[in-house]
Amino acid sequence: MMHFPKSTNEPESITRWKSENDAFVEDPDRSTRGKFEKLKRDTDLQKILLNEQGHLCAYCNRAISDVSSSDESYLVVDHLLPLKDGPLDYHNLVASCKGGAVLGQSIPPANKHCDAKKKNNTLHIDLRPTLPGCEKVLRFEDDGHVVAVGKDRKLLKQQINDFLNLNEAGLVMKREAVLREVIDQIAKAQVSKDELIEDYLAIESRLSENGTQPSRHLRAFAGVVLNYLRNP
Ligand SMILES: [Zn+2]
């Protein structure tokens, strides 16, 4: 888990939506919640979320993109606290990967993770990527598995596995590959730990698909590597 602070500026589409639905925002009925759900398709909102998360999934830190396709790396806007009773607010929205879901294919439950697995579950406050501290309750092992640490670790472990499925086989393999590379680089003294930390914290600006607006990218699994390097 990596901490992705929310920018203080609310996206324009949400401000507009709030002013149009003013009477319902504080105590929304089902239909208002349904209308808010449609905002998830707003491409400007999607870009803002991607940029504040450096184009990484809020939960597993895989690289995600805003290019609409059947590819599983495409983003999904997720309500951190479930839509059915959470606040209708930008601070409750994050960009998630599709969690193994590929358009037109059925995925075994064991391979679903992130948004596809979380559904209406409410994550423990320490596991919410928009709040500081979330990066401290997980530890990544050399073989790519993730474990919970700290006083609530039993509950956190259950949520990591049952709500997010962060130990899904494919994710574990990808994390192991990234961590092995990091371990190798350090062992061969190609790079120091501090240099690697700087590297993974650095945000790279790249031109977006249409070649105009630059977008901010972190390296894939940045949160995992940073966590690993800081917890020897
Ligand atoms: Zn993910």
Q: Which amino acid is at 105?
A: Q
**Centroid of ligand 1 to alpha carbon of 24 (angstroms):** 32
Q: Which amino acid is at 15?
A: T
List the single range of 95-109, 128-142, 149-163, 179-193 with lowest mean pLDDT. 95-109
Please choose, from the candidates 47, 22, 48, 44, the residue with its C-alpha nearest in 3D space to the C-alpha of residue 35: 22
**Centroid of ligand 1 to alpha carbon of 21 (angstroms):** 31
**Centroid of ligand 1 to alpha carbon of 74 (angstroms):** 10
pLDDT of residue 65: 80
Which distant-in-sequence residues (6+ apart) come within 8 Å of 82 by Cβ?
A: 119, 120, 121, 122
Which distant-in-sequence residues (6+ apart) come within 8 Å of 15 by Cβ?
A: none
Task: Give yes or no for residue 154 having a pLDDT over 90.
Answer: yes
How does pLDDT run across 70-106, given as a tens digit for each residue? Answer: 555 688 999 999 988 888 899 999 999 989 877 667 8
pLDDT of residue 93: 96
pLDDT of residue 71: 59
Instruction: Sort residue 221 into left (φ over 0), alpha (ψ -120 to 50) or beta.
Output: left
CB 25 within 8 A of CB 18: yes
| Model confidence band, residue 26 (pLDDT cutoffs 50, 70, 90) | confident
Q: Which ranges of 119-220 would DSSP assign to H, the alpha helix? A: 153-162, 169-187, 193-201
Which residues keep their CB under 5 angstroms from ion ligand 1? Answer: 57, 59-60, 97, 114
How does pLDDT run across 40-69, given as a tens digit for each residue? Answer: 889 889 989 999 999 999 999 999 987 655
Per domain, the residue ranges of the chain are: 12-230
- The mean pLDDT value for 118-137 works out to 95
**Centroid of ligand 1 to alpha carbon of 194 (angstroms):** 26
- The mean pLDDT value for 128-139 works out to 95
**Centroid of ligand 1 to alpha carbon of 173 (angstroms):** 14
**Centroid of ligand 1 to alpha carbon of 211 (angstroms):** 26
List the single range of 25-29, 115-119, 202-206 with lowest mean pLDDT. 25-29
pLDDT of residue 28: 86
- The mean pLDDT value for 142-161 works out to 96
- Percent over 70 (pLDDT), the chain: 93
